[in-house]
Each structure stands twice: as structure tokens, then as C-alpha cells.
Amino acid sequence: MTEAVTATATGEIQARTPNHPGTMPGLVLTARQLTKRFGGLAAVNQVNLDLWQGRIHGVIGPNGAGKSTLTNLLSGDLPPTEGTVTLAGQDITGWNPERISRQRLGRSYQKTNIFPAFTVWENIRLAAQSRNQPFAFNPLAWLTRAATHAVVNERAEKALELALLGSRRNTIAGAASHGEQRQLEIAMTLATEPQVLLLDEPLAGMGTMEAERMVQLLLGLKADHAMMLVEHDMDAVFAVADHLTVMVNGQVIASDTPAAVRADVTVQAAYLGEAH
Ligand code: ADP
Ligand code: MG
């Protein structure tokens, strides 16, 4: 079964090349046989996954399927029990989240994670600045501070626009709507200029209008990123995903184009039938 689930976004079966996956142009992140056990529970069980530049890879499945755990394994928030993760051709298995983040992997969490007392702009600016922290102890850094500020401001400005928050620049984050706070969280991730984006239920708790805006935002990011989108909103995920992985009980039960997944009777029985 694990052989079958290495199908790529283009539908072909990926050659098993765990040591050199980055040699394939556009293949940004890979997981191979990725497994996380919590005691006797395999929350993520032998999962294979490929994220490609310019594609949105949806991950769906019922509550407890292991979607957030998978996200945590890819971002380094949790170490895997077994398996490997590569990013841009480099084996990053077991790296801590900060180190992985510096290799241009950005993620959002299922819960909103912002500084509520600061403005939208200040939140994004702080996130943009945080990327420069590895250089904070460079004695020459203060000499180039003005230049650094310009670069950081530019990065924050770009993130503000990409997250469709240009008109909310001076809004106090805590007073922004739920949807805007989720946009802000994505903006803060974008401010670090990630190549890979892992988004865990960015549409959670949103009304129709907010969800539509988030879909528009995600589509706007697609060309320049490799994205994994964990999502419960089936309409949204089928609207934006180029490839879908379905997880149940830690295992991948299908990994294919959205149309093929929708037509898959196993998936319908295990999940989609219940969701509608
Ligand atoms: P999903 O995001 O698909 O709803 P999760 O990845 O959050 O699923 O959880 C998958 C399974 O792993 C669940 O049964 C959950 O209770 C369990 N789990 C998640 N995190 C932990 C943890 N830190 N310790 C023990 N069990 C966990
Ligand atoms: Mg979850």
C-alpha cells in the first residue's frame, strides 16, 4: 500500500529516491515512510508525501487522522519515530523548527498565534525582523542597520499585500475579525519568505465570505510556493488543491488528483460520504 501512495501531483509514481529527491526540479519537500507513535498509537503511519513548487497539496481526513501530527513532523515541531523528511534536497529529519524555518519552511498553526495588542503591520514587521535574528550578534550588523530595515520593511510590505491585508495595516490585531487574524498569521509566515508553506486548517471557524477571501489568498500564493493545506472545508480544498492526500487513522488511504479522490469509493466510504 505504501508503494501506491507515492503518486505525485502529476499522477505518476515517484521513483524511490530518498537520498536525492531534490534532484527533481520543482520537488521541494518529501516525506518517506514518515511515522509518529505516541505510545501504542501510530498517529502518522508510513506516510509518503511530495510537495511541489507551484502546487497546492491538500491533506484531508477526519478528526484524529494525524493531519496536525504530520504537519508537526514536517516542520520539526515533533521528531518522527521513523522515516525521513527532505527539504530542497537536504535531509532535515530531526532538525529543530528554528533551523528548518531558516531553510525557508513556514507554517501556520491550527490556533491563531498573533500579538493582539500590536497592529497588523507591527505583527508582520516583527515576523519579518525575526528572520534576521541569526545575524543579531554580528558586530557589523548595526552598521548596516538602515539597509537591513529597508529590506525588512520591504519583506513585511510584500507579506501584507500577499495576505490581502493592505487596508488593515493600522488595525489592532486583537480587534481584527477572525478571518483577518488568520490572514495575519499567514502574513507573518510569509514575512519570513518561505519556499514551503504548511497551513493547518486556515479556514477553521470561518464564514462564507471569510473563507472565499482565504481561498483567493491561497490561490495568489500558489505560483511562488510549495504548499500543504490541511483543511476540513471540502468545498475550499477541492477548489484549490492540485493534489489530495486522504488520511485515516494515521495512514494515507488515497493520494491523487481531486477528481480521482472524489471518485474513489474507498475514500467515499471512509470519509467523504460522512462529510457531506
Ligand atoms: P488531526 O489533526 O487529523 O485531527 P492529530 O494529528 O491532531 O489529528 O491527532 C492524531 C492522533 O494522535 C489523535 O488520536 C490524537 O489524539 C493523537 N495525538 C496527537 N498529538 C498527541 C500527543 N502529543 N500525545 C499523544 N497523542 C497525540
Ligand atoms: Mg488537526
Could you give the number of structural domains in the chain? Answer: 2
Q: Closest ligand 1 atom to the C-alpha of 72?
A: 6
For the segment 208-248, what is each residue's pLDDT rounded down to a tens digit? 999 999 999 999 999 999 999 999 888 899 999 999 999 99
For the segment 257-266, what is each residue's pLDDT rounded down to a tens digit? 999 999 998 8
- pLDDT cut 70: percent of the chain above it: 83
- pLDDT cut 90: percent of the chain above it: 74
210, 276: one domain = yes
End residue of a domain, out of 163, 193, 223: 193
139, 183: one domain = yes
Reported residue count of the chain is 276
Q: How far is the CA of 194 from the centre of ligand 1 (A)?
A: 26
- Domain range for 125: 112-193
Give me the DSSP letters along 197-228: EEEE-TTTT--HHHHHHHHHHHHHHHTT-EEE
Closest C-alpha residue for ligand 1 atom 21? 38
85, 208: one domain = yes
Contacts of 38 (CB under 8 A, 6+ apart): none
Mean pLDDT of the chain: 87
pLDDT band at 140 (very low <50, low <70, confident <90, very high): low
End residue of a domain, out of 144, 159, 193: 193
Ligand 1 site residues, Cβ closer than 6 angstroms = 38, 41, 43, 61, 63-69
The answer to the question of residue 227 being in a domain is yes
The answer to the question of residue 49 being in a domain is yes
Q: What would the grid cell of residue 32 be?
A: 518517506
266, 158: one domain = no
44, 177: one domain = no
End residue of a domain, out of 171, 193, 215: 193
85, 38: one domain = yes
Q: Closest ligand 1 atom to the C-alpha of 200?
A: 2
pLDDT band at 133 (very low <50, low <70, confident <90, very high): low
226, 167: one domain = no
The pLDDT of residue 201 is above 50? yes
CATH of the domain at 205: 3.40.50.300
Higher pLDDT, 122 or 13: 122
183, 210: one domain = no
The answer to the question of residue 223 being in a domain is yes
Q: How far is the CA of 43 from the centre of ligand 2 (A)?
A: 11
Q: How far is the CA of 45 from the centre of ligand 1 (A)?
A: 12
Closest C-alpha residue for ligand 1 atom 26? 38
Instruction: Check residue 13 and report its DSSP letter.
Output: B
The answer to the question of residue 20 being in a domain is no
Q: How far apart are CA 165 and CA 186, in angstroms?
A: 10
199, 273: one domain = yes
Q: How far is the CA of 40 from the centre of ligand 1 (A)?
A: 12
Mean pLDDT over 112-126 rounds to 91
Q: What are phi and psi of 10, to 5 degrees?
A: -90, 0
The answer to the question of residue 132 being in a domain is yes
Closest C-alpha residue for ligand 1 atom 17? 43
202, 75: one domain = yes
99, 116: one domain = no
The answer to the question of residue 21 being in a domain is no
* Identity of the highest mean pLDDT range in 138-152, 155-169, 228-242: 155-169
C-alpha count within 13 angstroms, C-beta hemisphere, residue 160: 22
Q: Choose among 12, 46, 44: nearest CA to 27.
A: 12
Q: How far apart are CA 102 and CA 192, in angstroms?
A: 8
Taking 3-state DSSP, the helix, strand and coil percentages for the chain, each rounded to the nearest 5, stand at: 40, 25, 35
Mutate to test the pocket of ligand 1, among 34, 38, 70, 248 (most ligand atoms within 8 A of CB): 38
C-alpha count within 13 angstroms, C-beta hemisphere, residue 50: 29
For the segment 9-43, what is each residue's pLDDT rounded down to a tens digit? 443 334 444 445 446 889 999 999 999 999 999 99
98, 203: one domain = yes
The answer to the question of residue 159 being in a domain is yes
pTM of the model: 0.87
